[in-house]
Amino acid sequence: MAYQDEIRILNRQDQADASLPRTPTELPQWIERQDLSEADMPYTHSLLADSFADWREQTEGYLWPSDHPIVLLHPDGTAVAMTGSGGAEDRFSVPRNWSKEAIGLTAGSVALETCRPTVLHSDEHTSAAMKAFDSLAVPVFTRSSGIPCAAMACLLPAGEAQAAELKLLQAASLHFRNCLYRRFELLFIQDLLHRTQLSSREERRRDLLFDVLRRLNDHIDVESVLAEVFDILEQVYAMCRIDLFLSQDYASSNEKVKPLAFHQQEMDICWKAFMEGEIREENDGSRRRIAFPLTGKQGVYGVLRMDVSAGEFDDVDLQFMKTLTAGAGTAFEKAKLHEQANTLIGELRLINELTQRLNSSLRLSDTMQFANSELLHIFKADYCFILQLDRLNGRFVVMSTNAPEMFNEKFDKDYGFCGVMLTTREPIILSDYHSATPVRSHLMDVTQSRSLLASPLLLNGEVIGAVMVTHRLPNHFSYDNYKLLHVLSAHLGLAVSNSSLHAEVRRMVITDNLTGLFARHYLNERIQRKLQKDNFGSLILVDIDHFKKVNDTYGHQIGDAILIQVSAIIRSAIRDSDIAARWGGEELAIYLPRLGLEQTVKVAERIRRRVEEETDPQVTVSCGLSEWTSSDDKISVETLFYRADMALYDAKHKGRNKVAVG
Mean pLDDT by 10 residues, the chain (662 residues): 37 38 46 41 73 85 69 90 57 75 89 91 88 91 78 88 86 89 82 79 74 78 81 80 77 74 68 86 84 86 85 79 84 80 71 66 70 85 90 88 90 90 91 84 91 89 89 89 84 71 65 87 90 92 93 91 94 92 91 93 95 94 94 86 93 93 85
The closest alpha carbon to 148, from 74, 235, 58, belongs to 74
Q: Are residues 463 and 545 in the same domain?
A: no
Q: Tens of pLDDT along 5-53?
A: 433 333 333 333 334 444 444 444 544 443 434 344 445 788 888 888 8
| Model pLDDT, residue 17 | 37
- The answer as to whether 211 is a domain residue is no
Q: Are residues 395 and 286 in the same domain?
A: no
Q: Are residues 526 and 485 in the same domain?
A: no
- The answer as to whether 425 is a domain residue is yes
Q: Are residues 21 and 154 in the same domain?
A: yes
Q: Are residues 379 and 504 in the same domain?
A: yes
- The answer as to whether 352 is a domain residue is no
Q: Round to whole Å and give the CA distance between 149 and 151.
A: 7
Q: Are residues 35 and 83 in the same domain?
A: yes
Q: Are residues 500 and 380 in the same domain?
A: yes
CB crowding 430-448: b at 16 or more within 10 Å, else e: beebeeeeeeebebbeebe
- The answer as to whether 208 is a domain residue is no
Q: Tens of pLDDT along 253-311?
A: 777 788 777 666 556 788 788 888 888 888 887 788 888 998 888 888 888 888 888 77
Q: Are residues 38 and 104 in the same domain?
A: yes
Residue 447 in contact with residue 454, Cβ under 8 Å?
Answer: no
Q: Which of 445, 473, 508 is the last residue of a domain?
A: 508
Q: Which of 304, 339, 374 is the last residue of a domain?
A: 339
| Model pLDDT, residue 591 | 96
Q: What is the CATH number of the domain that holds 112?
A: 3.30.450.40
CB proximity list for 618: less than 8 A, separation 6 or greater: 612
Strand pairing report for 300-309 and 287-295: antiparallel
Q: Are residues 365 and 496 in the same domain?
A: yes
Backbone angles phi, psi at 285, to 5 degrees: 105, -60
* Domain span at 167: 3-191
Q: Round to whole Å and give the CA distance between 142 and 132.
A: 33
- The answer as to whether 309 is a domain residue is yes
Q: Tens of pLDDT along 583-633?
A: 888 899 999 999 999 999 999 999 999 999 999 999 999 999 999 998 887
Helix (H, G, I), strand (E, B) or coil at 190: helix
The closest alpha carbon to 63, from 172, 174, 157, 142, belongs to 172
- The answer as to whether 199 is a domain residue is no
Strand pairing report for 659-661 and 621-629: parallel
Q: How many CB atoms lie within 10 A of CB 3?
A: 10
Q: Are residues 413 and 325 in the same domain?
A: no
- The answer as to whether 347 is a domain residue is no
Q: Tens of pLDDT along 68-86?
A: 788 999 988 889 888 864 4
Distance of CA 542 to the CA centre of its chain: 71
The closest alpha carbon to 375, from 390, 387, 363, belongs to 387
- The answer as to whether 276 is a domain residue is yes
Tell me what percent of the residues of the chain surpass a pLDDT of 70: 84
Q: Which of 291, 307, 339 is the last residue of a domain?
A: 339
Q: Are residues 501 and 566 in the same domain?
A: no
Q: Are residues 497 and 543 in the same domain?
A: no
Q: How many CB atoms lie within 10 A of CB 460?
A: 7
The domain tally of the chain equals 4
Q: What is the CATH number of the domain that holds 622?
A: 3.30.70.270
Strand ranges inside 354-484, DSSP E: 383-390, 395-401, 410-412, 428-430, 451-459, 462-471
Q: Round to whole Å and give the CA distance between 396 and 467.
A: 11
